[in-house]
Amino acid sequence: MSLQVQNLSYILPTGEILFQNLCFSVPPGGKYAIIGNNGIGKSTLLRTICGQLPSSEGHVYCDVSPYYVPQHFGQFDGLSVAEAIGINHRLTALSKILSGEGSPDDFETLNDDWDIQERLTEAFVRWGIDYVSPFRKMGELSGGEKTRVFLAGMDIVHADLVFMDEPTNHLDSAARDILYKSIRSTKRSLLIVSHDRVLLNMLSGMYEMSASGLTFYPMNYDAYKEVAERDLSAKTSRLHHQQKEIDKAEKSAHKAMERQQKHSARGEKRSAGKCLSRILMGNLKNRAEKSTAALKKIQQERIDSMKTDLRDLKSSINESRLLKIDICDSGIHGGKILVHLEGVTLRYPQRLLWEDCPISLTVKSGERIRIKGNNGCGKSSLLQLIAGKLQPEDGGSVFMDESLSTIYLDQDYSSVSNDLTVYGQMEACDSKKPEHEIKMLLTRFLFPPSAWDKSCAKLSGGEKMRLALCKMLVCGNAPDMIIADEPTNNLDIKSMDILAHTLKSYNGTLIVVSHDERFVRDIGICREVSL
C-alpha cells in the first residue's frame, strides 16, 4: 500500500527543529530505508509517520494502518505478548465464541478472523518462539525474543505496510537469516531504519536523512555508497577549486583597489593644477570616494558569497568524511598465552552454562577472535570470564597473565560514565597529559569546545564510542587486549565504519561478539569460536 508524506516537521519540546518540510513516498510493494547519522531524527520520523508522535506541521496520507516494529521495548514490559502486537481482543473473543459463551460484541470484535490462532501458531514457529505463550508478559522475554514477537506480528495481523526501527539489533544470526528471507520474499511495502548493511542491500531505495532534509537514491546500499563516495570526491575537488578562486578574487580586489586609489590621487593632483574651487574639488573627492567604496562593496560581497559557499561545502564534506583513529601497538610479542580456560562452566540465574560441553579456550597475543552462537548460549558471559569480570564458580579454571591490560567495550559503552561530562571523563583518567593536549584530542575526536560540558547521558551511541576510544588514548598506552560485546548495536553506519577502521588498525589482541557479518569481515577476524 502507498504512503505519502507532505511537508512534515517535528519540533522538540526545547523548541529545536529536528526536521522540517520533509516530503517523500513509498509506493505499493516498495522496500525503502531511511539512513543517516545518529541523532538526525530517523526514529522520531518513523514514529511520527505511524502516529505515535504528533507532527508539528505537515500531513501523512496512507490507505492502510501501518504495522510498527519498534527499536525499544520497555514500554511494553507490563503488557502480554498478545496486547503488545494488538491481537488480544480478537484472541479473547475467539476463545469465548469457541467455548459457547460468545456475545454479539465478541463476533463483532473477531470480525470473521477465524484463523487468527492458526496464524499466530505458524508465525511463532517460523520465528523460533513457539514456546512463548501469547498471554506471557513481555517483561519476561529477552531483547531478541521481544523483537521476534513483533516481527511475527507482521504475519499475524496481515500488515501491508510495515515500519521497522533497527530490527536486527537484538537478533542472533539464525533470526537475522529468517528476517532476511522474509524481506526478500515479501510483497509488503517496507520502510526500515537500519544500520545492517546486509539488510540494506536487499532494499530498492535509500532515503538519506541529513540536516538539509531527505535525499532519495533509487538503489541498494552498496550502490548508494559508490554514488556518495563519488559525490564526496567531486565536492573535495570543488573545495580546492573554490579556495583557489577566493584567493584569486582577493588578489584581484586588492589590485583593483590600488588602481582606484592611484587614479583618485592623480585626479586630485590634476584638479589642484587647474585651480578649481574648493567646493568643486570637494565634490570630485566625494564622488571618487563613493566610487571606491562602491567598488569595494561589490568585490567584498562577491568574496563573502564565495566564502559562504566554501563553508557550506566544507560542512558537507566533514559530514561525510571518515574520522581516522589509530591505536598504538600493545607491545606484546605475538603468540604469548594471555588467557587460558580449562573445563569452565558458569552458574547462570536459572541454569548452568556449558554443562554438557565445558569451555576450554586459549587466547594468544595478536589473535583476532570472534565468539559466535545463538542468543542465550553464553557469549557475553564468556567475554566477561576472559576479561576477569566473572569467575567460574561451578567448575574449571581460568589462567590470566597478571600483566595483561584489557579494554572492555560493550554495546552501551558503559566505560563512559553517564554521571560525568565529556571533559569530566578525561579528568577522571588521572592522565599525565597536559590540559591543552587533552582538549586537542577531544577536538580531533569530533568533540568541539561547545561539547566539553555536555552530560554523557545525552550522548548518542556513536558519540559514546568515540569518547570511549578517546578516553583510551588519554588514560595511557594501548591495551594488550580489546574485548567488544556487540559494539555496533547502537551505532549508525558512519560510527560503525570509524570503529571498524580503528579495530582493524589495532595490532593487539581482539575478541569480539557480533552478529554483523559485514563488520566482522571489516575488522579482519582470523579465528571463530562457536558456542
Q: Which residues are 9's β-sheet partners?
A: 57
| Cell numbers found for residue 190 | 517496507
Q: Which residues are 10's β-sheet partners?
A: 19
Max Cα separation, the chain?
A: 120
Return the residue matching grid coordinates 514500554. 75
Helix 116-126 to helix 88-98 angle (10° resolution) is 130
Residues 6+ apart with CB under 8 A from 74: none
Between strands 509-513 and 368-372, the pairing is: parallel
pTM score of the predicted model: 0.76
Residues 6+ apart with CB under 8 A from 295: 256, 257, 260
pLDDT at 180: 96
Strands in 200-315 per DSSP E: 205-210, 213-217
pLDDT at 249: 65
Dihedral, CA of residue 489, residue 494, residue 500 and residue 505, to nearest 10? -150
3 state SS of 284: helix
3 state SS of 352: strand
| Ramachandran category for residue 497: left, alpha or beta (phi over 0 → left; psi -120 to 50 → alpha) | alpha
For residues 318 and 468, the answer to whether their CB atoms sit within 8 Å is no
Q: What is the CB neighbour count within 10 angstroms for residue 358? A: 18
Q: How far is CA 410 from CA 98, 109, 161, 327, in A?
A: 49, 46, 34, 18
Vertex 465: Cα angle to 459 and 468 (nearest 5): 100
Give residue-wise pLDDT tens across range 472-506.
Answer: 877 766 788 999 998 888 788 888 888 888 888 88
For residues 457 and 414, the answer to whether their CB atoms sit within 8 Å is no
DSSP state of 322: P
Q: How far is CA 375 from CA 104, 169, 380, 414, in A?
A: 44, 12, 10, 21
Q: Which of 513, 496, 482 is nearest to 172 (CA)?
A: 513
Distance in angstroms (rounded) separating the CA atoms of residues 47 and 65: 13
Q: Which of 406, 396, 387, 298 is nearest to 355 (CA)?
A: 396
Dihedral, CA of residue 245, residue 249, residue 255 and residue 258, to nearest 10? -160
Distance in angstroms (rounded) separating the CA atoms of residues 379 and 384: 9
Strands in 172-304 per DSSP E: 189-193, 205-210, 213-217
**Tens place of pLDDT per residue across the chain (531 aa):** 579 999 999 998 888 889 999 999 999 999 999 998 887 889 899 999 988 898 889 999 988 888 999 988 888 899 999 999 999 999 999 999 998 888 999 899 888 889 999 999 999 999 999 999 999 999 888 888 999 999 999 989 888 999 999 999 888 888 999 999 999 999 999 999 999 999 999 999 999 998 888 999 999 999 998 988 887 777 777 766 677 767 776 677 666 666 666 666 565 555 555 555 555 555 555 665 565 566 566 666 666 666 666 566 566 555 545 566 777 666 777 788 999 999 988 877 667 888 888 889 999 988 999 999 888 788 888 998 898 888 887 778 888 888 888 888 887 788 888 899 999 888 888 777 888 888 888 888 878 888 889 898 888 777 888 888 888 877 766 788 999 998 888 788 888 888 888 888 888 899 999 988 889 999 999 999 888
Residues 6+ apart with CB under 8 A from 417: 425, 428, 456
| Ramachandran category for residue 67: left, alpha or beta (phi over 0 → left; psi -120 to 50 → alpha) | beta
Our measurement of the distance from residue 472's CA atom to the centroid of its chain's CA atoms, rounded to an integer in Å, reads 21
pLDDT at 287: 63
What sections of 19-142 are H helices per DSSP?
42-49, 81-84, 88-98, 104-110, 116-126
Distance in angstroms (rounded) separating the CA atoms of residues 252 and 516: 55
Vertex 358: Cα angle to 352 and 361 (nearest 5): 130
